[in-house]
Amino acid sequence: MLRDRCWIKSRIAARILLRRQAGTLQRRDYRLASELALDPGVSERLIDQALACLCAEKGLSEQHYHAVLRSTVAAQARVGLAGGPSD
Amino acid sequence: MIDRLVDALPKDRPWELIIFGSAPLQLGLDPSFLSGDVDVISPEDITGYCHAAGLLKGQARIYVEPCTATAFTASADWPVRACRCQRKHATLLLPHPIDILVSKIKRLEEKDLNAFRMVIAKTGHPTEAELIAAVQRVVDIYRPSFDEESAGNPTANTRILWQELFRKDIDVRQQIIAPALALRQQSYGGSGRSLKQSLETLGATATAPNQPGDPAEPKTNSP
């Protein structure tokens, strides 16, 4: 079955975020994350959809999906605050 | 008039016509709510047939106005609420009064205001909440008009409408536009960039000096 390249890349991005949550990141994940972050085809919407898709495929609960989403957003918010402009 | 229009159309194929403007209100709610024209959208240009039957402006007292589909500004789900009826070889699609009313907000002449008053007097609807939901479905009417357009001011018109119908002011941006856009963003899968920025941060982590105890610290024993 042919699958859209943006969707495949977004699924990889979602896998990386899931591995981050599980604490099982590998060296190549960092390199891929860097590349995928710059890829215009990998959008916020697709990563979100891919996360939901992967959670469903893995038989994880809907709550787990929301927990991953929340923790990723919260972690990013912390980074944003830490890296924000200082007075 | 609509029967005459249907009779004017070739009988060798079925027709599907959208009747909008004031005609559906007159047909469905108040026969005295007269209008000079019957606005019709057809997939095929019916001007020639109407002309041959003497139904166009200047040919008949109440005339048929063949319109383009973009003339009816309604939400994407208006056909779900519409009334469908068969007249001979034509299927007529009459939009729900709420869709008819909302399509009038951009212009909102006195006659359009009268349409709102008439529908509310006859049915008790739309309530304020129903009208807010309805205009949120067509939130794009509040975008700036094209230069080529001589459109009215829908934001000002909405405030006038609220004063007329509910005797109060409305903050169009806060009560209509912002919630509608938030819902749309939700449907599109969120508005933020948090997930993508997380990837970016992870990517940057790989090049940054390792912090002891950093949970995102790259492992070195994997390929």
**Do A49 and B189 count as a contact with CB atoms less than 8 A apart?**
yes
Counting the structural domains of chain A, the total is: 1
> What pLDDT, in 10s, does the model give residues B94-120?
999 999 999 999 999 999 999 999 999
Structural domains counted in chain B: 2
Length of chain A: 87
Q: Which of A23, A37, A75 sits opposite B200 (nearest CB)?
A: A37
Distance from CA of B184 to the nearest CA of A (A): 12
B209 in contact with A, Cβ within 8 Å: no
- For residue B61, the one-letter residue type is R
Q: Does B14 touch chain A (CB under 8 A)?
A: no
Q: Which residues contact B114 (CB under 8 A, 6 or more apart)?
A: B33
Whether residues B37 and B76 share a domain: the answer is yes
Last residue of a domain, one of B66, B96, B126: B96
Tell me, what's the pLDDT at B184?
84
Gap between the Cα atoms of B94 and B26, Å rounded: 11
Structure tokens at B34: 């007269």
- Residue B9: pLDDT band with limits 50, 70, 90: very high
B92 and B160 together in one domain: no
B72: nearest Cα among B36, B48, B28, B106: B106
Residue B198, domain member (yes or no):
no
Q: What is the pTM of this model?
A: 0.72
What confidence score (pLDDT) does residue B190 get?
Answer: 57
Q: Are strands B63-67 and B37-41 parallel, antiparallel or unpaired?
A: parallel
A16–B202 CB contact, under 8 Å:
yes
Establish whether this prediction's ipTM goes over 0.90: no
Q: Is residue B117 domain-shared with residue B90, that is, in the same domain? A: no
**CB proximity under 8 Å: B 153-192 to A:** 188-192
Overall size of chain B counted in residues:
223
- Token reading at A79: 């980074």
Does the residue A87 lie in any domain?
no
Q: Is residue B10 assigned to a domain?
A: yes
Residue at A64 is within a domain: yes
Please state the three-class secondary structure of chain B as a single string.
Answer: CHHHHHHHCCCCCCEEEEEECCHHHHHHCCCCCCCCEEEEECCCCCHHHHHHCCCCECCECCEEEEECHHHCCCCCCHHHHCEEEEECCEEEEECCHHHHHHHCCCCCCHHHHHHHHHHHHHHCCCCHHHHHHHHHHCHHHHCCCCCCCCCCCHHHHHHHHHHHHHCCCCCHHHHHHHHHHHHHHHHCCCCCCHHHHHHHHHHHHHHCCCCCCCCCCCCCCCC
Is there a domain that residue B86 lies in?
Answer: yes
Question: B116: buried, middle or exposed (CB in 10 Å: 19+, 13-18, 0-12)?
Answer: buried
Instruction: For residues B79 and B11, state if they share a domain.
Output: yes
Which residues from A are below 8 Å from B when comparing CB atoms?
A: 13, 16-17, 20, 23, 25-31, 33-38, 42-49, 51, 69, 72-73, 75-77, 79-80
Using pLDDT thresholds of 50, 70 and 90, give the confidence band for residue B212.
Answer: very low
Q: Which domain holds residue B91?
A: 1-96
> Residue B216: which pLDDT band, with cuts at 50, 70 and 90?
very low
Res. B221: pLDDT tops 70:
no
> Does residue B186 carry a pLDDT above 80?
no
Question: In this predicted structure, what is the pLDDT of residue B55?
Answer: 95
Residues B170-190 have a mean pLDDT of 86
* pLDDT at site B215: 46
Cα A41 to chain center, whole Å? 14
Taking residues B75-81, what's their average pLDDT?
A: 95
Question: What value does the mean pLDDT of chain B take?
Answer: 89
The structure tokens 């891919």 sit at: A50
pLDDT surpassing 90 at residue B74: yes
pLDDT at B211: 46
Q: How many CB pairs under 8 A join A and B?
A: 98
Residue B38's contacts (CB-CB under 8 Å, 6 or more residues apart) are B1, B2, B5, B19, B21, B23, B62, B63, B64, B65
Residue B13 is assigned to a structural domain of this protein: yes
| The pLDDT of residue A70 | 84
| Domain carrying residue A46 | 5-82
Residues of A in contact with B209 (CB under 8 A): none
Backbone φ, ψ for residue B204 (5° rounding): -70, -30
Express each pLDDT in B24-65 by its tens digit.
Answer: 999 999 999 988 899 999 999 999 999 999 999 999 988 999
> What pLDDT is stored for residue B189 in this prediction?
63
Set of chain A residues whose Cβ sits within 8 Å of the Cβ of B192: 44, 73
**Which pLDDT tens digit goes with each residue over A3-55?**
899 999 999 999 999 999 899 999 999 999 999 999 999 998 899 999 999 99
